[in-house]
Structure 1
Amino acid sequence: MGRAVPAVSRALDILELFLDATTLSTPQIVERLNLPRTTVHELVGTLAERGYLTPAGGQPAHYRLGLRLFQLGSGFAENIDLVREAQDVATEVASACDEAVHVAILDGTDVVYIARVDSTHPVRMVSAVGRRLPAHCTGLGKMLLSGLSPESFDARYPAGQRLPAMTPRSITSVTRLRLLVTAIAATGVAYDDAESNDDVYCVAAPVYDHSGTMVAAMSISVPGARWSPQRRDEWTELVRRGSAGLSERLGYQAH
């Protein structure tokens, strides 16, 4: 990398202060960055002139982020390729655990797989990129369902409906599914205990975009012969880190 330009670095420091504040005054910026008052006035004036900051109405010498930043952020969001980023991060996670890793999105009551990286061990999977599976039978799907509003969940799963099973362990009760996804929303992790494949267990975590919306989920899938409570905890932590990394690539900032 080339040498950092001090004036540009200071301007960016000013903008980054607004990550934790809606409005700031020039004296507050001076205090927080320990910069000369004249320098701050010049930088803030330039940023305001270019549309990166705008005066906060009714508060003299107070500023908030300007429209130009929104335009840049929108351009960034439009150019993010979820499938490409998902495949890259899934590859990293799979190399760390040598188990199959999937990323999927929700479409109605199904999950659609958009990325998959296989283990070096032979494993029979029912998943494939582009394939659809009932959301209630998969860890990925249950994770994604936990991000729905109660109204949206009820629209997809009317009370009293019996859900189709993929294995004897699949959930078939809407009431049980509703209780489970509520618990998943609180813990931020979902499991598939051989519910979509007789001998495959999964752990899944959420993926968020720049707006904080859950747009996908990532899972690690493991054959029953290698599944254990201790390893489950390890894979849970790993998939949490992987999904957080993918969320960060999509512009999400955890609070």
Structure 2
Amino acid sequence: MGRLVPAVTRALDILELFLEGDGTLSAPEITRKTQLPRTTVHELVTTLAARSYLVPVPGQSGRYRLGVRTYQLGSRYAEQLDLAAEGQQVAREVAETCDETVHVAILEDLDVIYIAKVDSVHAVRMVSAAGRRLPAHCTSVGKMLLAALPADELDTRIEEAGELVAMTHDSITDPEALRSALAAVRERGIAVEHRESNPDVSCVAAPVRDGTGRVVAALSISVPMIRWNEEREAELAELAAKGASELSVRLGHRGGVR
């Protein structure tokens, strides 16, 4: 690795300060937070403002916020993101930690489509494939994605779907029971399904958000019932949430929820 350029490092340190708080700072605040000389901060802020990386806050003399140039760079980065590719990489990391099958899925109508998948190393494991489509209400990823929909949109999708098909004896087929289950998912922030899509498998899922805070996918961990218990569920719920959070960060999410 080559030598870091101090002036560039300092300029980036200043820009990253604007990721915290209300996104506005004055030169004295920047000086205090960076511990840089006042003249250095003045020169750097002046340069960043001249290049539209910082702009004065209207009506607040001496305060700055991020400028349009940072938005343009962020937009170009977002354009290059591939949810499936990023999801596959994070799924692989999660699978290496838990040795179970990991999926990333998106919602289409009242179905989920798996866009990334990493298999368990165990001989006994869930059999599935990227690109597979399943009824959302029968899966943990689907429940997570349905729970994120606005109430009116959820009602419309359920009504348009007509009958909720059953994949196993434990599948939810009653719309009111589904709504109740989704309310529990919203409260917990984690979705779980026991033998609802496969009589031998249970799954746990967490939401994946994009840069706007919108839920755009879900990450799940699937486990054969022979390796499933309450303690394991708690462990995997935490791991799924961590993996989904990592994928969200890769998609530009910074903590806001929409």
TM-score by length of 1: 0.94
Aligned to 2:101: 100
Aligned to 1:169: 170
Q: Number of residue pairs matched?
A: 255
Structure 2 gaps of 5+ residues are none
**Residues 72 and 159 of structure 1: CA distance in aligned 2, closer, same or farther (over 3 Å):** closer
**Residues 217 and 254 of structure 1: CA distance in aligned 2, closer, same or farther (over 3 Å):** same
Structure 1 gaps of 5+ residues are none
Letter in 1 for 2:137: H
Query: Would you say the 8 A contact 1:91–1:117 is kept in 2?
Result: yes
Aligned to 1:243: 244
SS at match of 1:121: coil
| CA distance in 2: counterparts of 1:178 and 1:92, whole angstroms | 33
Give how far 1:159 is off: 9.9
Give how far 1:205 is off: 0.9
Give how far 1:162 is off: 4.1
Per-residue CA deviation, residues 104-151 of structure 1 (Å, 9 max, x unaligned), is 001111000011111123446463211111100000000111111112
Aligned to 2:215: 214
Give how far 1:2 is off: 2.2
Q: CA RMSD in A?
A: 1.8
Query: Would you say the 8 A contact 1:116–1:128 is kept in 2?
Result: yes
Letter in 2 for 1:222: V
SS at match of 2:130: coil
Per-residue CA deviation, residues 25-82 of structure 1 (Å, 9 max, x unaligned), is 2122222222222111111110011010111112222111100000000001110111
SS at match of 2:115: strand
Per-residue CA deviation, residues 189-214 of structure 1 (Å, 9 max, x unaligned), is 11110000111100111111222111
| CA distance in 2: counterparts of 1:159 and 1:5, whole angstroms | 59
TM-score by length of 2: 0.93
Query: Would you say the 8 A contact 1:189–1:203 is kept in 2?
Result: yes
SS at match of 2:14: helix
| CA distance in 2: counterparts of 1:124 and 1:234, whole angstroms | 18
Matched, 1:16 2:16: yes
